[in-house]
Amino acid sequence: MDNPAPIRLADYQPPAFLVDKVSLTFRLAPNTTRVLSRIAFRRNPDGPGGPLKLDGDKLTLISAQIDGTPITPTLTGTGLEIDAPDAFTWEAEVEIDPEANTTLNGLYMSNGMYCTQCEAEGFRRITYYPDRPDVMAPFEVRIESDLPVLLSNGEEIERGDGFALWHDPWPKPAYLFALVAGELVARSDRFRTMEGRDVALNIWVRPGDEDRCDYAMDALKRSMLWDEEVYGRAYDLDVFNIVAVDDFNMGAMENKGLNIFNSRLVLASPETATDADYQRIESVIAHEYFHNWTGNRITCRDWFQLCLKEGLTVYRDQQFSGDARSHAVQRIEDVQMLRARQFPEDAGPLAHPVRPESYVEINNFYTATVYEKGAELIGMLRVLIGDAAWQQGCKLYFERHDGQACTIEDWLKVFEDASGRALSHFARWYHQAGTPRLSVSSRHEAGELILTLAQETRPTPGQPEKSPLHMPIRIGAIAPDGQEVVADTVLELTEAKQEFRLPCQTPEAVPSVLRGFSAPVILDQPLSTADKALLLAHDTDPLSRWDAGRSLGKEALMAMILDDAAPDPTYLDALGKVLSDMDLDPAFQALVLALPSDEDMAQTLAEGGATPDPLRIEAARVALSTAVAGQHRDTLANIHDSLAPTGPFSPDAGDAAKRSLRNAALALLTRIDNGDRARAQFDTASNMTDSLAALTCLLRIGDGVTEAETFRKRWQSDRLVMDKWFALKVGTAPGETGVGIARELADDPDFTWKTPNRFRAVVHALGANHSGFHAGDGSGYAFVAEWILRMDPVVPQVAARTMTVFQTFRRYDADRKALAEAALRRISEAATLSRDTGEMVRRILE
């Protein structure tokens, strides 16, 4: 394989031509769809000059005209080039084959339904066009088909026998184009905006699924209201359509006025969806809706600026979920997710800045770094400039940049203007990859708490030298009697090392550092076990409180893994206090009760220079869980009994919190009761949360064979529930057993692997099974590599995304490293490999 040349931010040039209007006609046919385009082009006065360049991929050009005169354009391999006048109308007819399009990129078919996905560069598979986000235009779309439902962006302006005409007045880049045609039914509602617009809301699904849309609809209406109340942003069309599709590469897509969703992020009923599903549906519905302003009305100049829309929109959906549920729990879960997904990325071969500087395939950069770390940067910015300037800056951003394609510089400038502060030092966060390590030491002297903060970032690929970053560090201090003696304060760390002095009359006070996880760093603060227990019991900041518990748990596990130590009694006692504190939110208690994940332990061991042994980590976690259960048997049993469901199921946060604590208790109790409680819960559960939790507990102790079969029989025909079943079977068995189960299931007739959700339910589930994927005989690596190679020619984006499970392989012992490397070489040496997977394997092996 030759290596395609990277695209670099430094080479950005504005487009040579702008588009004033796009008219498209689609004559839909599964193998021979005709797309007729009529596009008004005008030379960009600020452009570089030169010919008109249109992108095109897998298109058969039937005819082309400029101002009505047929022409024969020069085909370039990636599109075509034309010497064009300064203003003209381009007309073309192309033929495409949606049925043969397995990539789920461009126009494709899913269960007889036509569907599109154009971000990032899928529109070029539909027609010739300047497929770049800084070319924005209003679209008119005529769809010709006998299918009953024909949808595109904007509003329907005409509907007749076998056709529909849609018009989207808001100029948009091609990546926000969408078209759907099929036999669909709608769950409909209305929303009146603060500007008095009466908006029709529709969620389109396959017949039979319509009674599973209520929660998504409710979440949509709440999102619309929230964006008005919190950001002053109202919806801007008379209709908002959402379509659920089974075959989809990602979670969902914010196409203007026509969001397209993976069906697992829309459909929910108490019998089929877990609390986690409900929560995720709420946040993704909100995320896509919020893109209407942060992404659509104001979009990205180029794909290097992806975090401009994604970091901000994740930040907004996190705020929304916090408002809807609990800020404390939301923050803990966001931090858990950042540490589990983004930290390994930042520490390995795939590390890249939040705003990358080059890429081969942009689809490989829809990463935890761009999304989740991108959101962290927004949160830090807000803490640094304060709420008032934040609000003013947001207002200014919407006023100044509405209708534009912007950069991170534009974004930071509004906050410089609003706050009067220079943000050039802060801007380094966007350029510098890697997670800084924050070392903290403290002493007490003459009525002062003296904190020394030092930061250091290790080299990452292509960035050997790192500079100190500007970060807000929120702190406080707790006295041994549990009183807060230094109130919440934000320190601004700008240098490699700085000392801060705070008045404090209690020499024994324990500093609570990085409250709220105020900066995305690895905290290195040498606290004694007793100090951690104090913070877990008394810190006023819930994130730091939870983190103290996690740190205690890690310390206990570390001693068990490295020194064969017994479970730490301080940790066990501290958990007991949290469990019996009736004032705590049960969701918070459940989070404290969850032991650090195996991946978390492996990461910590590797950071400290040790080699993680997956089976030892697994064994230590099981032993510690068993010890927790043994010590708190009665309290846990009492929790499980007293929180048993009483009324009908409600997905709201309060009830979900109780279920999460009850099921956390069950997971522990199952370690010591041979699964009796879990079996009873499985037999009587009336909702998916409780049923799946019980089954998980049983499978984790190597039991549950009968229950798993009962579950399968019951849900055989439900594709979304069956995805859970596959993932659970693969995810719960340790080591080589897990790989064996994955292999068995890969031969199952229901393993319809070309559907990304089912593929992920087996292959990603094994990747997420720490001791399974890292099975000592290399069978996990071989299995995943084999399936990546199989998936690559079918859905390259999914194959490439699966590659990320290999990003940590260098952490492990020599034997595992060699086995993983051999699997990676098999991928890299394949006769043909997509650009997506090719780039990933090269970066991982480099």
Return phi, psi of residue 525, to 5°: -130, 110
119 binds ligand 0A1 (CB under 6 A): yes
117 binds, among Zn ion, ligand 0A1, none (CB under 5 to 8 A by kind): ligand 0A1
The CB-nearest residue to ligand 0A1 is 250
117 binds ligand 0A1 (CB under 6 A): yes
Residue 597 DSSP label: P
With CB under 5 to 8 Å by kind, the binding choice for 127 among ligand 0A1, Zn ion, none is none
Q: β-strand 437-445 against 522-524: which pairing, if any?
A: parallel
Radius of gyration of the chain measured on its C-alpha atoms: 27
Residue closer to ligand 0A1, measured from CB, 125 or 843: 125
Letters for 676-705 (x = contact with Zn ion by CB under 5 A, - = none) are ------------------------------
Q: Does 836 bind ligand 0A1 (CB under 6 A)?
A: no
Contact 598, 559 (CB under 8 A): no
Q: Which amino acid is at 231?
A: Y
**Token pair for 706:** 């009968």
Q: What are residue 139's phi and psi, to 5 degrees?
A: -120, 140
- 834 sits near ligand 0A1 (criterion: CB under 6 A): no
DSSP 8-state class, residue 256: T
> By CB under 6 A, is residue 370 in contact with ligand 0A1?
no
The answer to whether residues 141 and 256 touch, using CB atoms and an 8 Å cutoff, is: no
Alpha-carbon distance of 179 to 96, in angstroms, equals 14
Enter the tokens of residue 494.
Answer: 């700008």
Q: Does residue 479 touch ligand 0A1 according to CB under 6 A?
A: no
Using the 8-state DSSP alphabet, how is residue 5 labeled? P
- Token duo for residue 395: 């207002």
Decide: is 220 part of the binding site for ligand 0A1 (CB under 6 A). Answer: no
Q: Is 294 in the site for ligand 0A1 (CB under 6 A)?
A: no
Q: How far is the CB of 137 from ligand 0A1 (least distance, A)?
A: 20
Task: Identify the residue whose tokens are 């956390």.
Answer: 664
Q: Compute the least distance from the CB of residue 230 to Zn ion, in Å.
A: 18
From ligand 0A1, Zn ion, none, interface partner of 321 (C-beta below 5 to 8 A by class): none
Using CB distances below 5 to 8 A depending on partner kind, what does residue 707 bind out of Zn ion, ligand 0A1, none? none
Q: Considering the rule CB under 6 A, would residue 103 count as an interface residue with ligand 0A1?
A: no
Kindly give the interhelix angle for 653-670 and 633-642, rounded to the nearest 10 degrees: 140
Nearer to ligand 0A1, 288 or 531 (CB): 288
d(CA 277, CA 272): 9
366 binds ligand 0A1 (CB under 6 A): yes
Catalytic positions: 288
Closest separation in Å from C-beta 254 to Zn ion? 6
Which one of residues 250, 307, 475, 840 is an interface residue with ligand 0A1 (CB under 6 A)?
A: 250
What DSSP letter does each residue of 372-428 carry, written as one string?
IIHHHHHHHHHHHH-HHHHHHHHHHHHHHHTT-EE-HHHHHHHHHHHH----TTTTH
Q: In the window 280-339, what residues touch Zn ion (CB under 5 A)?
A: 310, 313
317 binds ligand 0A1 (CB under 6 A): no
Number of chain positions touching ligand 0A1 (CB under 6 A): 14
Please pick, from the candidates 202, 249, 279, 299, the single residue that binds ligand 0A1 as defined by CB under 6 A.
Answer: 249
Which residue from 198, 196, 184, 190 is spatially nearest to 263, judged by alpha carbons? 184
Q: For ligand 0A1, which is the closer residue by CB, 141 or 250?
A: 250
Q: Cβ of 271: how many Cβ atoms within 10 Å? A: 16
Q: How far is the CB of 98 from ligand 0A1 (least distance, A)?
A: 16
Q: Fill in the amino acid letter for 748.
A: D
Residue 144 DSSP symbol: E
By CB under 6 A, tell whether 107 contacts ligand 0A1: no
Determine, following the binding rule CB under 6 A, whether residue 797 of this chain makes contact with ligand 0A1.
yes
Nearer to ligand 0A1, 291 or 538 (CB): 291
Count residues binding Zn ion (CB under 5 A): 2
Residue type, 822: A
Using CB under 6 A as the binding rule, whether residue 17 contacts ligand 0A1 is answered as no
Spacing of C-alpha 527 from chain mean position: 33
| Site residues (vs ligand 0A1, CB under 6 A) | 117, 119, 249-254, 287-288, 310, 363, 366, 797
